[in-house]
Structure 1
Amino acid sequence: MTTSLPDQSRNTTHTSQTMKACRVHQFGRPNVITLEDIPRPEPGEGEVLVKVHAAGVGPWDAWIRAGRSLLPQPLPLTLGSDVSGTVAALGQGVSRFSLSDAVFGVTNKRFTDGYAEYALASADMLAIKPEGLAHVDAASLPVVAVTAWQALFDHAHVGNGQTVLILGAAGNVGTYAVQFARAAGAYVIAGASTAAHAYLRSIGANDVIDIRLESFEDKTIPVDVVIDLVGGEVQARSLSTIKRGGTLVSAVSRPDLALAATHDVTAVFFFVDVTTDILDQIAAEVFSGRVVTQIGALLPLASARTAHEMLEGSRPRPRGKIVLRVVP
C-alpha cells in the first residue's frame, strides 16, 4: 500500500499553465513533501521543457529534502533530477532536439525539479531516448549509470583484460559498474553481501566476495582498479588489493591520499557530471542488451513520500531503482 501526498491545491483550476509537482517548503523527513499545483515553467536559453513520463528517485533526492545537500538549495523547491519524457518546448539556442522528441537525462546541476508533470532541463544533460527503451527504464538510468561509467572509463580508464574490484556492487551504481566493466572486457570481482551474490553473477560478475564478513584483502587476487561505492574502512582496506601503479576511484568519500601513496596507488574522488555524450553511450549499451536495468519499485507521482520512506528504510525496499510514473 502506498501513501499519496496531500494535495494542497485541490481547489485550483487546472489549466495548461499549471502542473503538479512534489515540493519542499522546509527541510526535514519525508512528510515535508507536498503535492501542489504550480505554474508550468518556460525554458530559458539552453533549456528544454520536458513533459515528464517518469522520474527516478535516488539518495541525493533525500539529502536535498533533508537539507544535507552540498549545493545551495533555495526553498521552496521541487525534488528530483532523473527524468524521461517528451520535449514540450525549446529554449533559445537549443538545436539538438525537436518538439515531441523522446528524451532522458538530468534536469540541472542542482539535481532538482524532476518530480513534476513538466521539468526544465539543461539541454546538455539530456539525450534522445532509444525507441525501444521504456520511459520508466530510461528514468532509472541517468545519475547512477553515468556515475558508474565515469568511475570506470573517465577516471580509472578500465579496458580489456584488466581486473576490477567493485565495492558495493549490489547498489544501483554498482550494478551498472559490474555490467559496464564486463562489457569492456574486464575481469570483475563484485563485493557485496552474500544475499546479492547470485544476482551479481547473473549480471556478469566473474567472482563475488562478502566485503563485510570476509577479509577480502587477503582473499582477493591483485586488481588493477578498485571502484569504491562504500567508503570508510572498507575503502582503506581495499588499497592493499591494488597492484602497484593501480587506481582507486570513489564516488562516496575522499580517499586518504597519503595512505594510497604508501601503496603506490592513484586515488581519485569525483562528483558525477551528466553529459549528452555519456547518456548516448549508456543508451546504446542498454538498447543492445549488453546492459540491463532493474526497477525495484514503481510508484505514482503522488507517492513520492513513500519513495523517500523506502530510501530511508522505514518501508521495505526491493533491490533496484525507485521510479515515479508521472504519465500512466
Structure 2
Amino acid sequence: MTSTVIATHDRFPSNTAAVLSRLRATLDSSTIDRSTAGIGRATPLRAGELLLRLQPGMRVPSPSSSPLFDVAGVVAETALDAGGFAVGDRVFGVARDPHWRDDVGYVLTTVGHVAKLRRTLAPVQAATLASSATTAWRMLFRRGRLEPGEIVTVIAARSPVGALALQLARAHDVQAIAVSPSDGNHRWRALGAHRVADIRTDALESACRVAAVVVDTVGGFIQRRALSAMQEGGVLLSCASRPDMSRAPPGASAEFVETRVTSRDLARIADLIDVGRLVPALDD
C-alpha cells in the first residue's frame, strides 16, 4: 500500500458480498444526495450511523471498484445513538457512500465499524491499517488463539497483513518466523521476526513444521507446500484462498479467514497504535 491514497485491503474485494450483507441492517443502502444543502444529507442519519469528513486531498475508491473501503477521518455528524462518538472525533475503520462537496469528502459508516484514533498518525497511514490489521489480529488471536511463547509462521511477510502480523506477534510475546525472500531479513527482524525463512527453499517447510499457527497471505502452490508440512495440532489460517484439506497431514487443520472489521478489534489496534507498537509497514 502506498502512503498517498486510502487503499482497499488486498483481500477485501473478494469478501465484499459477505461483509456488505452484515452491514445492510445498519447502513443506508442509498447514496448521499449530492445536491442537498449543507454537507449533502437528504435524510437524517439512522441510529448508529456516523458521517465522516475526510482530510482535504484524500481520495477513496470509486463506487464501482468496491462499495466498502478502509478510511480515516473526522466525525462530522452523528445519529442519536452515537455509541460514544462525538463530532470532531478522529476515527478509522471501514465506510461507504463517498460524497464530495466543495472539494471536501464525506463517507458514511456505523459505530460498529470504526474506532477512535487518539495518537498522532497521518490519516492515510491510519486508513491502511483498518482491514489489514484487524485481519491479522483475527488470524493470530481470535482464530489462532496464540499464547505468549508459541510460534507463528507468517507467509509472506512483505504483504500488508503479514507485516502487521509480525508486529502483533511481537507485541504479545509470540515468536514469529517470517517467510519471505531472504533479501528482506533486516526489515522483517525490525518488525518483530525472531527468524527469517527463505520462501524459495525448503526452509518454508521447516518453518511451518515447528509452528502452532501458520498465517498464509499467498495461497496457491505456496499454501499447498505449507499445509503439507504441518505437524499434528498445527493450524494454517489463510486470508488468500480456501485451503485444500486433502493435503493436510493427520491432526493438522486449516481454514479460510474472512475480513471482518469490527469496532472491538479496531479498538485493540488503536491501543497498540497509541503506544507506538503498531505502525503501517512502509514500502522499501
Distance 1:200 1:63, change over 3 A: farther
Q: Counterparts of 1:209-224 in structure 2 under 5 Å? A: 209-211=197-199, 213-220=200-207, 222-224=210-212
Q: Where does residue 251 of structure 1 map in the other structure?
A: 239
CA contact (8 A) 2:92 2:127 kept: yes
Contact 2:223 2:243 in 1 (8 A): yes
Counterpart among 86, 103, 106 of residue 118 in structure 1: 106
The separation in 2 between residues aligned to 1:230 and 1:62, in whole angstroms, is 26
Higher strand share: 1
The answer as to 2:94 corresponding to 1:106 is yes
The equivalent residue for 1:45 is 47
Alignment check: 8 A CA contact 1:240 1:263 kept: no
Which residue number corresponds to residue 202 of structure 1? 190
Output one character per residue of 1:52-101: Cα deviation in whole Å (capped at 9) or x when no partner.
Answer: 128687xxx69962xxx7xxx6xxxxxx6111111111124223211111
Matched residue of 1:274: which SS?
coil
Output the aligned Cα RMSD: 2.6
User: For residues 166-204 of structure 1, what are the alpha-carbon distances to aligned partners after superposition, in whole Å with 9 as ceiling and x for unaligned?
Assistant: 001111111100110122111111011233222111111
- 8 Å contact from structure 2 (residues 90, 117) kept in 1: yes
Match of 1:311 in 2: none
Change (3 A) 1:248 1:113: farther
Aligned CA distance change for structure 1 residues 88 and 249 (closer, same or farther; 3 Å): same
1:275 aligns with 2:277: no
Q: Distance in 2 between matches of 1:123 and 1:47?
A: 6
Q: Residue 279 of structure 1: SS of its match in structure 2?
A: helix
Q: What are the equivalent positions in structure 2 for 1:1-328 lying under 5 Å apart?
A: 38-39=34-35, 40-41=40-41, 43-53=45-55, 65=65, 81-107=69-95, 113=98, 117-211=105-199, 213-220=200-207, 222-260=210-248, 262-295=249-282, 318-319=283-284
Structure 1 Cα separation of the partners of residues 151 and 218 of structure 2: 19
Residues 114 and 105 from structure 1, CA distance in 2 versus in 1: closer, same or farther, beyond 3 angstroms? farther
Partner residue of 2:13? none
Alignment check: 8 A CA contact 1:56 1:83 kept: no
Counterpart code for 2:135: T
Aligned CA distance change for structure 1 residues 201 and 131 (closer, same or farther; 3 Å): closer
Give deviations 1:107-161, integer Å, cap 9, x for gaps: 15xxx64997110012210111114333232222101111111111111111111
What is the rounded CA distance, in whole Å, between the counterparts of 1:217 and 1:142 in structure 2? 28
Letter in 2 for 1:167: I
Paired residues in the alignment total: 241
Quick one: structure 1 residues 64 and 233, their matched pair in 2 at CA, closer, same or farther if it must change by over 3 Å?
farther
Distance 1:197 1:263, change over 3 A: farther
Q: Look up the match of 1:313.
A: none
Give secondary structure in 2 for the equivalent of 1:169: coil
Q: 2-side partners of 1:225 and 1:142: how far apart?
A: 22
Query: Contact (CA 8 Å) 1:189, 1:208: kept in 2 or not?
Result: yes
Q: 1:236 Cα shift? A: 1.1
CA 1:155 to 1:63, structure 2 compared with 1: closer, same or farther past 3 Å? farther
Give me the whole-angstrom Cα distance separating, in 2, the residues matched to 1:230 and 1:86.
Answer: 34
Give identity over the alignment, percent.
33
Distance 2:79 2:246 in 1: 47
Secondary structure in structure 1 of the residue aligned to 2:227: helix
- Are residues 131 and 195 of structure 1, via their aligned partners in 2, closer, same or farther at CA, if it must alter by over 3 Å? same
In the other structure, the counterpart of 1:301 is: none
Provide structure 1 residue ranges, at least 5 long, that are not aligned to the other structure: 1-36, 74-79, 296-317, 320-328
